[in-house]
């Protein structure tokens, strides 16, 4: 999958790192109850291809119901941490 600038989000608390947010269906991951792939390849807007390794699922606090939020993948490309958030659609 090639991401666009609309998929990339910067956090003021971490000016060097950034998040890429996509929906599961955009990269071929099935519903949340299925096992996600251990590695996801993403093509950046400039054409670079990066591999992201699974870190785990992120869920709400148990007090809020503990519902699934997204699968988290990480890459340290571009000399910084990049978090790929795969939303369950």
* Structural domain spans, the chain: 5-87
CA atoms in the 13 A half-sphere facing the CB of 59: 11
Q: How confident is the model at residue 51 (pLDDT cuts 50, 70, 90)?
A: very high
**Residue 50: closest CA among 61, 59, 39, 58:** 39
What are 10-26's pLDDT values in tens digits? 887 777 778 999 988 88
Residue 35 has what pLDDT? 76
- Over range 40-62, report the average pLDDT: 89
**What percent of the chain lies above the pLDDT cut of 90?**
34
pTM for the full predicted model:
0.82
Coil/strand/helix, residue 76:
coil
């Amino acid at each position: 999958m090639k991401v666009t600038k609309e998929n990339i989000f910067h956090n003021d608390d971490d000016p060097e790192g950034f998040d890429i947010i996509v929906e599961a269906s955009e990269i071929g991951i099935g519903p949340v109850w299925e096992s996600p792939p251990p590695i996801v390849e993403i093509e950046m807007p400039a054409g670079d291809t990066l591999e992201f390794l699974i870190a785990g699922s992120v869920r709400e606090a148990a007090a809020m119901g503990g519902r699934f939020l997204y699968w988290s993948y990480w890459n340290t490309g571009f000399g910084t941490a990049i978090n790929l958030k795969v939303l369950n659609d």
